[in-house]
Structure 1
Amino acid sequence: MDFLVGTFYTPKLFTVRFTPSKDDSKCKLEITHTSDAIGGHSWLSLSFDKKFLYTTVWASPPAIAAYRIEPNHALTHLNSKPVRAMSGYVCCSNTTLYSAGGPTGEVFSLNPDDGSIGPLLQNLEFRDQGNQNDGARNGVAHGDFGGLRHGAHSVDLSPDAKSLYIADIGHNCIWNYSVCPDQGKLNQRQKWIASRQNDGPRHTWPHPNGKILYSVQEHSCHVDTLSISKQATLELISGKRIIPEDKDEKDYWADEVRLSRPISGHPKYLYASTRGLEKETKGYVAVFGLDEDGLVRGEAIDMFETVTSGGIANAIEPAPMVEGQEGVEYMAMTDSQEGYVFILAFDGKKITEVARTQLLGEDGMTLAAATAVWL
């Protein structure tokens, strides 16, 4: 089982191979390819056919990029396009690429012949132009990242690609758009204000039934379940804390929310990860049960304490189910503090680490692992 990993600061992309086993001690994780990149790639998004990879580019000036995935799962750069502010996240349909970061976002067409990024179709604006304080923040832990710590941070399509959701930390909201069927341009539908004043929506993730959207709150360390009405508007159903009750949310910043990926049927579990703000504060991965409709059942089944704080990552990405091992779910977790890439396993009761590797540069220095996508 291969997956790709990017870094925040290094112009390299890594192809990593996980070999699962019913005996956890025999699980293996190894880097099979290191591909040249054009910058640090903090976020990765695969085309539906998994022939192309689209990425953010942490560089000056900021950009987004496209790569072709070769048969051996190495990567070849296709092209890049400038964006106005550092992108935090990209996602794509069959025809269109979406980017969001800080005060702005962009919509680009995709070239059908070679998968490269085509012309700019639309600019998106999130900053309140009349508010002079609606800008970059100073003094936040780990830095402001060009506005990502106080602005738009993610962009996700609904399963039918008719809606798009952008989580905005600074405006404490989720921007809800309808997608035009011809070119993929966006029309704003709703600005959903988060349920707590200190939430800071960071990432969202849709349930495959198209009726539920999950939102992880960076500041309050909650994950919220939102209903999607027939008119495609959002409304809060419930919220769950994703760090232990005896921990202070001010010591953490939540990172990711994802669902399990069963071979058939509905997702059984929701996973949410949190980072420690300081190096000595370890992060967590929480897991919750889901019913058939995507509603969270009860409190967390387990909260796994991570090896490090996670740095600015601790991003999790559930793997496809392994045939013959339906009783266990695997996920990749990336760590920027020490450059680790982990494989975690969940058996329905406990999360455990079953494999790890470390991203190292030619000089032996650790590289800040960012996010992963499974091929």
Structure 2
Amino acid sequence: MDLEPPLQVPLQQVLNASAVPTHHILSGSFRSLSLFLLAFSPAQLTLDLVQTIPAFGPHQYIALGPHTGTTRSAYTTSWALPPQLQSWAIEQQQDGLRVRFVDSVDITATSSYISIPSPHSHVYSAGGPSAQVHTLPNNTTGFGPHVQEIYFVPRSEWDTADKTRKALRYGSHGIEFAFPVGSPALAFIPVLGGSTIEVYTRADDGSLIHSDSSPAPQRAGTTEQEDGPRHVKVHPNGRVLYCVTEHSNFLDVYTISPPNGRTPVLTYATSRSLIPPHLRSDGPDNASNKTNKRIYRGDTLLLAPSTQSQPAPQSIFVTTRGGDDEETKGWVSVFRLDTEGMFAGDIETNPYLVERYETKTSGGKAHALDLRLKSDDDPDGALWVILTDDSPPHPGVRVLEWDGWLWRGGGTRLREVTAWPKPGFYNTETANKLEQEHMEGASHAVWLD
């Protein structure tokens, strides 16, 4: 994996290296049956393998549960057959952090996303033609009883519906929650092939009750079916929803209205393109129309964490993947938000409103994100960013550094600082011994501490 030139680390940072904590990352893979526990050193800018954890199938999407003492739970999807969800215990042991398998449950269709919203009493998963609701046991890791199955195809077609991972291309692809004041919790499930966001209210028993169906917005020269909503996130204020469209490569913004017997719950407000202006098919520097929206594949999004001085997220990070030919690179875009969760301005070339980072590869099937504050209350909103990569020649986990909007250091605010595995890893004796693991192609990764 070709990295940018090493950054110069201040002397005082080197002298204090032993006092700077190591941050752990748990990663899944599109090409391996294992999970991987990694350790990132902010002082040394290194990323190292700590533990390889045998699992049950590739494409592990990870949701973290609450802490119980020194143990934290994690829940994963996979492409295993028959379809399953798994649970894991992340434990602080004498020799450091370790991950162990707890249990699994069978489901009827391959899932691509899993979520554990407040109050952490249920786990919700979605993928293809259905979504699942399970209870979580009190004060321990694992799955409780199954509560509900939700269908995105007519019940009459369920027996013949595609329930494999191929259905993720046109079925459900995520689930997120909002907690409006004076209303039950709301759940939002994007259905990629139908170009809708399905809206549910959450009942006291954790089950979901369908409330509304919000079609993708109409755009000039397109139809709503071309959008392909893939992933959504909700602003902490519970009044704004963001959606990445896989096919049309937009970040759409909606306002949320509590149902209270009325619809629509979602009202489309505005959009931003995931593709820089000079690469769009109608861009001024692209007369040949060589690249267009179909070459890129909108992927995922994440709001920057809140801080004490900045309770409203200052930024939203969004990714798109490049082409299947591996020649077209992917992009990470960072858009500045105002205190209400809307875009802070509409001039997309303004460096204080948007930042674009061209990734080293197309990203393959990956380009998932996770964000971690560099300090508990950095006024600039500086972050460490995980970016997963599934594209040759060196797929894996990348760590980027985001300096925040007010940074005056010159150069780009967003840049890669380290990655795992390192170039040459696959040619080592160790890698040859572990060839059956195919330790590459990170799918989703999360910060653990």
Settle same-fold status: TM greater than 0.5.
Answer: yes
* Residues 262 and 321, structure 1, Cα contact 8 Å, conserved in 2: no
- 1:187 is matched with which residue: 200, 205, 209? 209
- 1:85 is matched with which residue: 109, 131, 151? 109
* Residues 202 and 255, structure 1, Cα contact 8 Å, conserved in 2: yes
**TM-score, normalised by the number of residues in structure 2:** 0.76
Q: Tell me what 1:68 maps to.
A: 89
- 1:350 is matched with which residue: 413, 416, 420? 413
Unmatched tracts of structure 1, length 5 or more: 138-143
CA shift digits 1:182-212 (9 cap, x unpaired) = x201101111111142111100011111111
Moved more, 361-370 or 289-298: 361-370
For residue 130 of structure 1, report the CA deviation from its aligned partner.
Answer: 6.7
Give the structure with the larger strand fraction.
1
**SS at structure 2 position matched to 1:261:** coil
CA shift digits 1:118-141 (9 cap, x unpaired) = 111111100145789x9659xxxx
CA shift digits 1:324-370 (9 cap, x unpaired) = 86532221000012322111122226311111112866128552200
Counterpart mapping for 1:120-159 below 5 A: 120-128=146-154, 145-158=165-178
Q: Tell me what 1:18 maps to.
A: 40
- 1:261 is matched with which residue: 305, 308, 332? 305
In structure 2, give the amino acid aligned to 1:287.
Answer: V
* Residues 389 and 442, structure 2, Cα contact 8 Å, conserved in 1: yes
Q: Tell me what 2:274 maps to.
A: 242
* Residues 32 and 439, structure 2, Cα contact 8 Å, conserved in 1: no
Q: Take 2:343 and 2:161, find their aligned partners in 1: how far apart are those partners?
A: 35
- Structure 1 residues 334, 241: CA separation in 2 closer, same or farther (over 3 Å shift)? same
Q: Take 2:421 and 2:176, find their aligned partners in 1: how far apart are those partners?
A: 29
For residue 293 of structure 1, report the CA deviation from its aligned partner.
Answer: 0.6
- Note if 1:307 corresponds to 2:360: yes
Q: Tell me what 1:201 maps to.
A: 229
Q: Take 2:124 and 2:438, find their aligned partners in 1: how far apart are those partners?
A: 33
For residue 314 of structure 1, report the CA deviation from its aligned partner.
Answer: 1.0
- Note if 1:36 corresponds to 2:54: yes
* Residues 77 and 114, structure 2, Cα contact 8 Å, conserved in 1: yes
Counterpart mapping for 1:361-372 below 5 A: 362-363=434-435, 365-372=438-445
* Residues 52 and 67, structure 1, Cα contact 8 Å, conserved in 2: yes
For residue 321 of structure 1, report the CA deviation from its aligned partner.
Answer: 3.7
**SS at structure 2 position matched to 1:48:** strand
Moved more, 116-125 or 44-53: 44-53
Q: Take 1:42 and 1:283, find their aligned partners in 2: how far apart are those partners?
A: 21
- Structure 1 residues 326, 214: CA separation in 2 closer, same or farther (over 3 Å shift)? same
Taking only the aligned residue pairs, the percentage that are identical comes to 30
Tell me the number of residue pairs that the alignment of Structure 1 and Structure 2 aligns: 363
CA shift digits 1:13-44 (9 cap, x unpaired) = 112222224xxxx4222222222222224310
Q: Take 2:179 and 2:202, find their aligned partners in 1: how far apart are those partners?
A: 12
* Residues 153 and 202, structure 1, Cα contact 8 Å, conserved in 2: yes
* Residues 329 and 361, structure 2, Cα contact 8 Å, conserved in 1: yes
**SS at structure 1 position matched to 2:63:** strand
Q: Take 1:99 and 1:135, find their aligned partners in 2: how far apart are those partners?
A: 18
- 1:218 is matched with which residue: 222, 229, 246? 246
Q: Take 2:161 and 2:416, find their aligned partners in 1: how far apart are those partners?
A: 40
In structure 2, give the amino acid aligned to 1:332.
Answer: I
Q: Take 1:28 and 1:56, find their aligned partners in 2: how far apart are those partners?
A: 28
Q: Tell me what 1:97 maps to.
A: 123
- Note if 1:285 corresponds to 2:332: yes
- Structure 1 segments (4+ residues) deviating >4 Å: 129-132, 134-137, 323-326
Q: Tell me what 1:322 maps to.
A: 375
**SS at structure 2 position matched to 1:148:** helix
For residue 371 of structure 1, report the CA deviation from its aligned partner.
Answer: 0.6
Give the structure with the larger helix fraction.
2
For residue 90 of structure 1, report the CA deviation from its aligned partner.
Answer: 0.6
**SS at structure 2 position matched to 1:216:** strand
Q: Take 2:83 and 2:300, find their aligned partners in 1: how far apart are those partners?
A: 23
In structure 2, give the amino acid aligned to 1:61.
Answer: P
For residue 114 of structure 1, report the CA deviation from its aligned partner.
Answer: 2.3
Q: Take 1:204 and 1:320, find their aligned partners in 2: how far apart are those partners?
A: 21
Q: Take 1:81 and 1:365, find their aligned partners in 2: how far apart are those partners?
A: 25
For residue 113 of structure 1, report the CA deviation from its aligned partner.
Answer: 4.4
Unmatched tracts of structure 2, length 5 or more: 1-22, 219-223, 281-291, 406-411
**TM-score, normalised by the number of residues in structure 1:** 0.90
Q: Take 1:346 and 1:81, find their aligned partners in 2: how far apart are those partners?
A: 38
Q: Take 1:35 and 1:42, find their aligned partners in 2: how far apart are those partners?
A: 12
Q: Tell me what 1:334 maps to.
A: 388
For residue 239 of structure 1, report the CA deviation from its aligned partner.
Answer: 0.7
Moved more, 319-328 or 184-193: 319-328
In structure 2, give the amino acid aligned to 1:112.
Answer: N
For residue 48 of structure 1, report the CA deviation from its aligned partner.
Answer: 3.1
* Residues 216 and 229, structure 2, Cα contact 8 Å, conserved in 1: yes
